[in-house]
Structure formats: C-alpha cells, structure tokens
A = this chain, B = another copy of it.
C-alpha cells in the first residue's frame, strides 16, 4: 500500500476507535490515551497521526460527515436517475438521526463535537462552517424544488431550510426512548408531505 493511502487508512481506523469511545462511554472519556488503547496502538503512534486531541476530534467529525454523505449517496443510487427532491431530503434527514448503529455513531460524534465546540473557538469555527455548508446544500435543493414546482412558490426557502434542519431535534427524543424510529420517520414523512405540493 502506498504510504499516503496507509496514512489515511490509519487515521480512519483511529477515527472509528474515537467514535466507539464517544458512542459507548462519552466524549469526556475520549482522551488521546483511551483512543490509542481502543485503536490498539501506542500513544506515541497516535500522536504521529494527530498532534492534539482537537485535531483528532476534528478529523473524526469530518470523517463522520463523509461517512454520512456516503450512506446518502448509496441511498440515492437506489432511487434511480432523477430522484424526487422529497426523497433526497428524506434520505439526508434520516441518515442524520440515530435510527441504525452507523447513524447513531456519527450522530453521537456530531453532538459531542458541537458540545466541545461551545467552549473552543477553533472547533466552533469548523463546526459552524460545516453546518453552514450543509444548510446551503439543503437551501439550494429547496430553491430548485420551488423553481421546478415541487414546492409552492409562496414558501420561504430560508425558513423551510431551517425547519428541515430543525428536524434533527428528533435525535434527543430517539436517544431518550421517548419516540421510536417508526414515529421519527412518520414525523419526517408528515413534514415532507406538507412541504411538497401533491403530484399533479
């Protein structure tokens, strides 16, 4: 394996170890030492790949976002060549919720990262930029759907985008067993059904 590929592979292995620690024990336990142990490497080896805990967290967060995007892409491929924007949004939103183990790991990683970001300027800027990019992608999709007549022209794309992203608030209800995955999906379907005009 070429050296750069091996380097990236090692970093991803470490990121997955970090997710497991965050998922199973909480971000407070995710020290460099604990993550190195979970990844089966020495602390010195881990420090070769990440100079600081913040750098490790940021990489693990970016990797979680990539993995979520890859799951959405696989879902989209199954929808055929011209998927309806409602189905694209359903996929994006569902993959952000902890309704299956992979999504739970990336969701918990995101929540932990946001909480750490509240008290770390550099992490805050990274988390903010990531969420702004995601917000822009959703708003572009909403604006295109309005232009294509899938969403009524009197809907405000910025507000609709905020309401769509707010649906990630179902995460807390799911994590605390206040609603189950079926109810969360029903809520998303109901919101999307009212956002999109009925097919003519």
Q: Which of A134-156 contact B (CB under 8 A)?
A: 135, 156
Interface residue A111 (Cβ < 8 Å from any Cβ of B): yes
Of the listed residues A27, A112, A124, A173, the one surrounded by the most CB atoms of chain B closer than 10 A to its CB is: A173
Q: Would you give the shortest CB distance from A183 to chain B, in whole angstroms?
A: 6
Q: Would you give the shortest CB distance from A119 to chain B, in whole angstroms?
A: 5
Interface residue A1 (Cβ < 8 Å from any Cβ of B): no
Q: Would you give the shortest CB distance from A30 to chain B, in whole angstroms?
A: 10
Please tell me if the beta carbons of B176 and A170 are within 8 angstroms of each other in the complex.
Answer: no
Please tell me if the beta carbons of A187 and B172 are within 8 angstroms of each other in the complex.
Answer: no
What 12 new A-B contacts, CB under 8 Å, besides A127-B176, A158-B183, A168-B172? Answer: A26-B116, A111-B111, A131-B178, A132-B178, A159-B186, A159-B187, A159-B190, A162-B179, A162-B186, A166-B187, A168-B169, A169-B170
